Amino acid sequence: MDAISSDDLGVEVEGFYEGWMIWPPVPYSYDTPNDLGRSAPSPPDASHWLGTDDTTRDVLARVIYGFRLSILFALVVTIFASIIGILAGAIQGYFGGWLDLLFQRFLEVFSALPSLYVIIILTAILGRSFWLLVTLSIIFGWPALTGLIRAEFFRARNFEYVRAAQALGVNNWTIMMRHILPNAMVATLTFLPFIVTGAISTLAGLDFLGFGLPSSSPSLGELSQQAKLNLQSPHLGFTAFFVFTIMLSLLVFIFEGVRDAFDPRKVFS
């Protein structure tokens, strides 16, 4: 019987067994520079499946991290902007009168602000950071849902079940949140995919213009900018295009399923 070498079984070092190591499919971080031995950006190969960018960083690693960052940004902005927009629209639609009139005039003035230019100016003054962009996107994003919620509450406030709850002495907050809002959720969820895709597009656009996340952050918009600056490397442009297409399509399909799940008129066989 042949002797088995230590290389076959691993090496025991200080009481621990050191065997083979299983590497991840992408053994690079989004900010890892690579010694390619050739000019960058480089085309896809066996080591870098989607090639490298103009600073020799792995494109696939930056796409994975950038995808996660874009989804996190979109979800945080959508959740908080929706909460503010739903509360504002509910108050307007339910109470109406002078409150609704003054709020509508305020929204008309606020919505007329050039939000993109304001965000660019503030990021140039305060610096580029993830949470600053999240805060600014929430501030300028909440009016998108207000008009829809206002219309739903304005329509539902005269329904018989609302009149009955008022006659029984139920307070206004309970009527708004427990009786009217669930019936307005279908229209709300129908609009949410547009807020999500709008947030991702805003982040990508700001990164493309150079006013978004810091340059070291993994960004799909920054990848698009590199594709524009390096037309001799088409793999960058194709990667950015397909990632945006697949990501936005998946988000729309997911929210359509969520909308159908919350639709009380939907009958599942």
Instruction: Check residue 134 and give its pLDDT.
Output: 93
CA distance 108 to 219: 33
User: Is pLDDT above 70 for 9?
Assistant: no
Q: Once rounded to an integer, what is the mean pLDDT over residues 93-101?
A: 88
How is the chain split among helix, strand and coil, in percent rounded to 5?
65, 5, 30
pLDDT band of 19, cuts 50, 70, 90: low
Q: Once rounded to an integer, what is the mean pLDDT over residues 206-232?
A: 86
Mean of all residue pLDDT scores within the chain: 83
Q: What is the dihedral of CA 8, 14, 20, 23, to 10 degrees?
A: -160
E-strand spans in the chain? 11-13, 16-18
pLDDT band of 13, cuts 50, 70, 90: very low
CB atoms within 10 A of CB 179: 18
Instruction: Check residue 264 and give its pLDDT.
Output: 63
CA distance 62 to 38: 20
Tens digits of residue pLDDT in 105-133: 999 899 888 888 899 899 888 888 899 99
Tens digits of residue pLDDT in 43-62: 888 878 888 888 888 888 88
